Structure 1
Amino acid sequence: MNIKKTFSPFFLLVAFSALFFFLLTSGYGIGTEDSAELAGGARLLTMVHAPGYPLYLIVGRLASALSEIPGKGLVYLSVFSATLTVIFLFLFLRTEYSESAAAVASFTLLFCQGFCESAVQVEVYAISSLLIISLLGILFRFGAGTEQPKKLSSFFGFALGLTLAHHMGILILLPVIFLYLFFISKEKKSVCWLDIFLFALPGISFYFVLMILSTRQNLPVIGWPPIKDFSELINVASGASFKKLLFAVPIEKAIANMLLFPLQILSWFPLAGIILSAIGIVISLRKNLKFSLLLLAVIIITIIHASNYKVLDPEAFLLPAALPAAWFAAPGFQFLIDKAKLTAKAQAVLVIAFFIIAFSGRIFSGGIMTSAMNSLPIDVSRVVLNSHASDSEPALIWADWRYYPTLRYFQIVEGLGGNATIELDTTSKTPGVSWREGRTYAMSPSFELGEKYALIMENMQWRVADKFIFDSEPRYRVSSDTALLNLGGIDILKVEYPDTIRVGSAFDVEISFTRNNKAASDTILGEVVIMFNKSPRISVPFAPWLWHFKPSSLAQDRIYLEKVQALIPSAHKSQLDIINPSITLRLETSDSKVWSGIGELKVKK
């Protein structure tokens, strides 16, 4: 191996830029929803939601040892996987194009917003990107026909097996992948089908690890039960429980998604990268038709799949389309430098300029270091569970999927909240067999719960009570110039919070308000937004207020006091210069959400 050629200046620039950027923007640790479930699954080697992610659990168990911060080791795993994805893209492309063109395409992917987000959190998408780019790169080499067919087939089979062991989502791309291999085989006889099959088996066998793990006694369960038999393994591995969500989107919504999602993918990339990719598509179709059609097919299939998948975040399933989109930037840049006959130095200047402009764009858009300071899920979970220690009265906590896995993680791993029963939130169980009078709490109360019961915020959770007690006595006369903020028919008169706020601990925010004569009939929800140096950094989702009544039910001659709580994440350990809370109000009904505006409050004390 030629060390000097392999570790060229462009290679080192791409590799260290990717590693530096992802480490700079990496998350603090575990988040909410799937992030916490995956962290718990890897830490405890227990089941997670379908398709089970056996490869992630095993590799993640090793990565969990890299840091004592919950989930930070898995963040490093995402960073490392995303960095390798960028490096692999460069290495594959430089076999066909100049190193400058390969570097530009790599930077196009590096600064792709969707890809960056997957690279800095506890999730499976960064490893998925690494495995998919490996498959595409090997398929690219198949088309070149310059390497030993048996060697390429073995590598492809092994990579395919690992991809399947990580996520069965690759199945939607297999028809076009094997169609491409079929045409390549007919033309160049460079595909060894038996080798592909044999080398894929070790990867697929990872799924049997799930059955082995499920045989352990007293297996901790975060949200998904152990596998009992082979039929359940097939059900989990195939993601059968989620298949009902596919093509469950109304046709008009699916069509709208298919029109909007391509624009969303484009919005992820730097403008120069979009232009180069557009040029690259045209050039590639002329010079390498089969592989170009494969890349375009990956983009189209990914968009159709995400558009018809009925989940809360279908955009997350668009990520595979970003990889071929970035790939096309290489032939686009190559075409331009060949036309202009640029020297090596001029090409290097353009590459560096591309990097600086794209990196600056991320800085000015606020995409630097915000994730690293977000320890809110960790802090909130600990505050909640510490209020239900083993020596406290038994309690029931209702949490939706946003915080259910996070609470379960800290209850099992750190032993917090020993006297709390945590259930996946559903109003159908209200009051239900688990109901505990005066000791039932909700993390994200529903409208139905707010209409039936009073909700009182304690330790970053809402206590479900029979009667809500609030201050409704007028303490001073209301005048037109008294209100600090008027939104949605409610005048905010006063906001108070402690002079001393301890980072990582909940603090009370008292909001005095009154109804004006334009009060809406919809329930109003609000959020406490923590402002650092006049810039919003942390939006506290646990402070929706006025659950208890509709604005129309409020007397116009009364001043009401609502007590909510906020929390500054413990990652902000340095002294804070300015803490100005602002209130973000929104009108929300059961079928619509309309933001009514944002107002910064000058606190009256």
Structure 2
Amino acid sequence: MDLDRPLLQRTTAAATGAAAFALYLATLAPTVALIDSGELTFAASLLDIPHPPGTPLYVLVGYLFSLLPWETPAFRLNLMSAFFAALAAGAAFLLATRTLSPPLPPDRQGARKKRGPTAAPAGTVPAAATAAALVAGLTFASSGTLWSYATVAEVYTLNTALLGLALFFFLGAPGSHSAWDLRLALLFFGMALAVHHVSALFLVPGALYLIWKRRAGASSLKELVFLLPGLATYLYLPIRASQKPLLNWGDPSTLERFFWHVSGKQYRSNFTPDLDTLLSRGWFFLKLTANEFTLVGIILVLLGLFLLWSKSRQLFVFIAVTVSCNWLYALVYDIAEDNEAYLLPSFLLFVIALAWGLRHVFEAAWLRGKSVIIPVWGLLSLLPVLSVVTLYEENNHRHYFVARDYGLNVLENLQPKALLLTMDWQLYSPLLYLQHVEQYRNDVLSVDVNLLRRSWYVAYLKRQYPGLMQAADDETDIYLKQLELFEHGRPFSPNVIQQAFVNLINRLVEITFSRKDPVYATVDRSEEPAVAQDYFRVPIGPLFRLYDSRPAQPLGPGRLRTDSFTNGLLELDPVMRRVRKNYALMCVNQSIYLKSYGRETEAAEWRQRGLRLDPEVEAMIPRNGAD
């Protein structure tokens, strides 16, 4: 079995991808997920513009997947993630094969075939290299981070697949007999840049590696034109923005706003040099890396890095520099969710080291005969199986209804033509999908209070709810003038802009009440104490309904579907647990509210329900429910 044979490589890569796809399909989320899943599915399904940097290639490819005839648009975009994660697994196998078995001169190929298995020096046992690459590829496929993003709609699996293909061709480019290795590497890399900015971390290490290997870089400059097809997809953003789509995040229709959006201007404040944060994130990433490939896998990765240092110094330096850049970026970029995904490029490169470590052990066993070959090869080949067994419950999203249930819990408790104010992205993102893609409860006027701090979102509200926004023209104009100062970096008064912000929201509430329509909020008073501060809040399901005064009689508690948290079919991640805590807090708020009317028995039941959901909630009871 010779790893250099293209047919064998392609067949094994396809088998690796197929096995990975079967795993992902078996654990695929059936509907919309939390974090950005709802927003991305919405943007891809309607060809709109999502959050920075706009991920134009993801949107365009996602739109094609949204046209599939199966299930719901959310399921189709989840399926897209599974497909590209499987492609990434196949690419990881190919990447490992390229680094393990570079092409040999013709005169050495025949000589190698004549060698007996026990006479083979290190690095020349084809079966060992094949097995090592296969195990490494399957281990990457079943690693926690890639697997978790393979089951929900997100950009990371597409980005990882493109990076894997780019690296496969790139590592064959120096000294290659085919100029197309570098060209294809640049083509796939340009496409990766059109999906996620983390891909840019390969630019400097990649250029240095090429120069080092070729001793010159000028001959490669003309090949940079192959970056353009991928980068050209960014033209989608200003073209589509000029058509005023429903979701027009950042409104990149002008050169200035295009640059803001593509460069992620609104997220620059997330870069932090705070030492405590850096140490905390560093420890988190170390634990994540240790858990990614299991303990045995990490030992083999370390062994592989040592072997790379000894036998392929240039490749080792490329990996070390790229991983260092990746880690530095992930450390200083402080975000609430998706932290693990930012290390996927490093994990992809660690596949190379894992394969080198595996090959070394496989060849050492080969030299000792069948009595050692069979148990060693057999046990190490089970590494992906160990990963699947260890991580299956954590990544099994077949019963992932948390996000959809959250959205339905809110929408089903709202009266017709209700105004909903929220600061919870874990709610608003699924609502974008449910209301705009599935067209459920379009009568509800949903407003994300946090997004209202951006001018593009004010424009979205004007298009979506023209009647409401026209009635608040004066407050809107005053606020937009202050917002323009803020967005363009001109001198502004924080107090003035905050007051204009609050005045606009309160005006929207007043207008809705004047029309005899209901107002609801998930906004905690501690988050925005001046918003709707004069209204009495009654807990209804997972949110509050606002009243002019305290109702004479207690109102019904509403519906609160909590099956996703109580049926034991889904292992909860930290974001899911935050949603569960919200539910528990609202149960306790309902208890406080009912108790204020003397309904002691019902109050006790709701309190116990909240404590069953999250026992820690008793120490976090907010006193803003019914007061």
Equivalent position amino acid for 2:386 in 1: I
State the 1:457 CA deviation: 3.4
**Do 1:530 and 1:536's aligned partners in 2 also have CA atoms closer than 8 Å?**
no
Q: Alignment partner of 1:312: what SS?
A: coil
Bigger strand fraction: 1
Q: Alignment partner of 2:89: what SS?
A: helix
Distance 2:571 2:263 in 1: 45
Q: Deviations over 1:304-328 (max 9, x none)?
A: 1111112213343222221112321
Q: What's the counterpart of residue 429 of structure 1?
A: 502
Distance 2:6 2:97 in 1: 15
**Do 2:45 and 2:73's aligned partners in 1 also have CA atoms closer than 8 Å?**
no
**Do 2:14 and 2:90's aligned partners in 1 also have CA atoms closer than 8 Å?**
no
Measured at CA, do residues 303 and 536 of structure 1 come closer, stay the same or move farther in structure 2, by a change above 3 Å? closer
**Do 1:39 and 1:71's aligned partners in 2 also have CA atoms closer than 8 Å?**
yes
Match of 1:211 among 216, 221, 238: 238
Distance 1:59 1:12 in 2: 21
Q: What's the counterpart of residue 327 of structure 1?
A: 352
Q: Deviations over 1:138-165 (max 9, x none)?
A: 232134x3432x2122112211211111
Structure 2 matches for 1:108-257, cutoff 5 A?
A: 108-143=139-174, 145-148=175-178, 150-186=179-215, 192-216=219-243, 219-221=245-247, 224-246=249-271, 248-257=272-281
Distance 1:470 1:260 in 2: 51
TM-score of the pair, normalised by structure 1: 0.75
Measured at CA, do residues 114 and 508 of structure 1 come closer, stay the same or move farther in structure 2, by a change above 3 Å? closer
Q: What's the counterpart of residue 531 of structure 1?
A: 567
Measured at CA, do residues 582 and 415 of structure 1 come closer, stay the same or move farther in structure 2, by a change above 3 Å? closer
Q: What's the counterpart of residue 462 of structure 1?
A: 544
Q: What's the counterpart of residue 561 of structure 1?
A: 603
Q: Deviations over 1:13-64 (max 9, x none)?
A: 5233211111111112222331111111101111111101110010000011
Q: Deviations over 1:393-438 (max 9, x none)?
A: 4433324222223212222223333332211135963861111448
Q: Alignment partner of 1:142: what SS?
A: coil
TM-score of the pair, normalised by structure 2: 0.73
Gaps of 5+ in 1: 473-496, 498-504, 510-526, 568-579, 592-605
Measured at CA, do residues 471 and 307 of structure 1 come closer, stay the same or move farther in structure 2, by a change above 3 Å? farther
Structure 2 matches for 1:375-414, cutoff 5 A?
A: 375-388=401-414, 392-414=416-438
Alignment pair present for 1:318 and 2:343: yes
Measured at CA, do residues 258 and 395 of structure 1 come closer, stay the same or move farther in structure 2, by a change above 3 Å? closer
**RMSD, aligned α-carbons:** 3.9
Distance 1:116 1:250 in 2: 31
Alignment pair present for 1:443 and 2:473: no
State the 1:448 CA deviation: 4.7
Q: Alignment partner of 2:303: what SS?
A: helix
Measured at CA, do residues 507 and 422 of structure 1 come closer, stay the same or move farther in structure 2, by a change above 3 Å? closer
Q: What's the counterpart of residue 585 of structure 1?
A: 616
Equivalent position amino acid for 1:232 in 2: R
Q: Alignment partner of 1:423: what SS?
A: strand
Number of aligned positions between the proteins: 517
Bigger helix fraction: 2
Distance 1:533 1:193 in 2: 53
Q: Matched residues, percent identical?
A: 20
Measured at CA, do residues 233 and 303 of structure 1 come closer, stay the same or move farther in structure 2, by a change above 3 Å? same
Q: Deviations over 1:448-475 (max 9, x none)?
A: 5699565433354332346667999xxx
Equivalent position amino acid for 2:165 in 1: S
Q: What's the counterpart of residue 481 of structure 1?
A: none
Measured at CA, do residues 346 and 300 of structure 1 come closer, stay the same or move farther in structure 2, by a change above 3 Å? same
Q: Deviations over 1:546-575 (max 9, x none)?
A: 458999x999x97771676999xxxxxxxx
Distance 2:236 2:283 in 1: 41
Distance 2:284 2:526 in 1: 31
Match of 2:585 among 529, 544, 547: 544
**Do 1:296 and 1:324's aligned partners in 2 also have CA atoms closer than 8 Å?**
no
Measured at CA, do residues 335 and 469 of structure 1 come closer, stay the same or move farther in structure 2, by a change above 3 Å? farther
**Do 1:134 and 1:159's aligned partners in 2 also have CA atoms closer than 8 Å?**
yes
Q: Deviations over 1:259-290 (max 9, x none)?
A: 44223221222222111101101001111111
Distance 1:196 1:533 in 2: 51
Distance 2:345 2:6 in 1: 32
Q: What's the counterpart of residue 78 of structure 1?
A: 81
Measured at CA, do residues 558 and 458 of structure 1 come closer, stay the same or move farther in structure 2, by a change above 3 Å? closer
Distance 1:528 1:27 in 2: 13
Match of 1:288 among 299, 312, 318: 312
Distance 1:258 1:72 in 2: 34
State the 1:99 CA deviation: 0.8
